[in-house]
Amino acid sequence: MPRLFIGILVPASIQPDLLGLLPDDDRLKPARNGQLHLTLNFQGALSEGLTDVLRQSLAEVRCEPFRLVVAGTGVFQPDSGGRGVLWAGVRPSESLKRLHASVTDVVQHLGLPLEDREWAPHITLARYSSGPPEQLKHFLKRGSAQIAEFDVRDFQMVQSQPGPEGSVYTPLAVFPLC
């Protein structure tokens, strides 16, 4: 069954720059161009009825458009399945926090599950499953330096369908911020 997430899609114009930050290592599975996003909420598999109710409720979210600054790189150590993540960070902003809180309020109001862990806004660039890449020190040397920035004017509900070449993303709804 397809999985759903609510997120901010990274503009195609800066995705090659972000993916270009990755070390050259065969153990990495980079995100495909066109799939970079910042997850606001992950829902997993939902019935068609719940998906429709969620879509209708998210359409009521209103926030001012804002500028998102991509800054810094990091790594999430392997999970219980042995998969780690290399990511690009985002600078915290009140606008991003408000949008996340609004989406979370909708999800809670509908009685849908929230993630167990604290929200850590990031853009997944690659996954690895056999130990961290050798060039990780170089990847992490960026500290909190600004990498890119873009205007956020909407957020989306996206279906993620796992496939042999990686997940295929299909936007189900676009929600303008104002």
Q: Which domains does the chain have, with CATH numbers?
A: 3-176 (3.90.1140.10)
Asked if residue 142 has pLDDT above 90, the reply is: no
Per-residue pLDDT at 107: 95
CA pair distance 10, 36, nearest whole angstrom: 6
How high does pLDDT run on average in the chain? 89
Q: What one-character-per-residue DSSP string does 63-104 give?
A: ---EEEEEEEEEEEPP-TTS-EEEEEEE---HHHHHHHHHHH
Enter the pTM of the model.
0.91
* Confidence at 24, pLDDT banded by 50, 70, 90: confident
